[in-house]
Amino acid sequence: MDSATVGRATALGAAVLLSLLAAPAHAAPQEPQPDLAALPGVLRTAMQQGAPGALARIDDHGIVSTTAAGIADRKTRRALDTSDRFRIGSVTKTFSAVVLLQLVDEKKLKLDAPVNRYLPGLLPDDRITVRHVLSHRSGLYDYTNDMFAQTVPGFEAVRTKVFTLRQLMARSLARPRTTAPGGAYAYSNTNFVVAGMLIKKLTGNSLHTEYQNRIIEPLRLGDTFYVHPGTKIPGRHTRGYLTPDTPGAALVDATEQTVSWAQSAGAVVSSARDLNTFLSALLGGRLTSAAQLAQMQRWVPAGSGQAYGLGLRRRDLSCGVSVYGHTGAVQGFYTYAFASKDGRRSLAALANTSNNGKVHTTMLGTLESAFCGKTPKAPRGSSVGERIDPGAAAH
């Protein structure tokens, strides 16, 4: 089933109209309006390709548009709702980067200092800096490549396990590095395990406390939680379904898990509303100083049509518009959270499956609908992204 609702702010619309009438003739053209009619079709296509359900929410200069399709629970057949909570996977990395950049603002951390200055002896190379870690240029091997070489058996082996961050680091450090420090972008969850260790060392607090005090409470994110090592998503939520490697095999309900294998790299729970609030606040300059926001947007090439900053991804769309945010893949959930340069238009979308490359590519089309205002084409750079379980998106 499909549902679509669009809120209209009459006063806001009148103000925008007056500002346009008063604008000088040389003013830059408006950004394309969202194509709200196309979004339900994108979600239905994702369902045809194997997702039990999908949703999208656009916050656009005070106007909220939502659409959802399919089901949140394959047993009860409850319809997916745009207010449902879900696991956001690697969008967690942007939360972790924000905390560290706030610590830079507080003079407790320097981006170009060696990680080993703060975590003595952790890394085998003193040349690896905090900046290298946050931009995926450290060369640290991604331990999840081995952990989830077989999707379902790998997941079941860690579903209820609780790891320390050092144990996850040991898995990475047992393998050779992939690049020299400061080399080319090479996505690795290990980098944001290091980020989590830095947060805990520099603050003396848990990740939960720092996310809560620095981001969740100030922005009043009522649907956002870091519950590690708990296994349940609090409150009303959609269940997540992992696609096995064997074609045609039954989906695996992966909702309940510790996500201890990811932690600061991918264990946050949120909602579409909260993700849009978070990205709008970040890009609007409400979470860091202007200087640190600029550091987040010092881009390095990260695949066709993409670039990566510090815990922040830029995607260049077919209409020439660039959007800023992150994608996330955790077993059972694909998340897409992006906003315009000024944060005044934001999109959060979800498909409640993972390890399905067709669904992932289709759902990237929500960005085209939200920011280019036309029927989605094949997304640029769709083969490069966050790989937490194989097939989520190839490096």
| Residues involved in catalysis | 90
Distances in whole angstroms, Cα of residue 326 to Cα of each of 13, 80, 323, 383: 30, 22, 10, 14
- Cα 359 to Cα 48: distance, rounded to the nearest angstrom: 9
- Cα 289 to Cα 295: distance, rounded to the nearest angstrom: 10
The two counts, helices (H) then strands (E), for the chain are 14, 14
Helices (H), 23-137: 39-48, 92-105, 115-118, 130-134
Beta bridge partners of 86: 270
Give the 3-state secondary structure of 20-39: HHHCCCCCCCCCCCCCCCCH
**Residue 135: which of 299, 336, 306, 263 has the closest Cα?**
299
| Pair type for strands 306-308 and 313-316 | antiparallel
User: 203, 103 in Cβ contact below 8 A?
Assistant: yes
- Cα 151 to Cα 357: distance, rounded to the nearest angstrom: 13
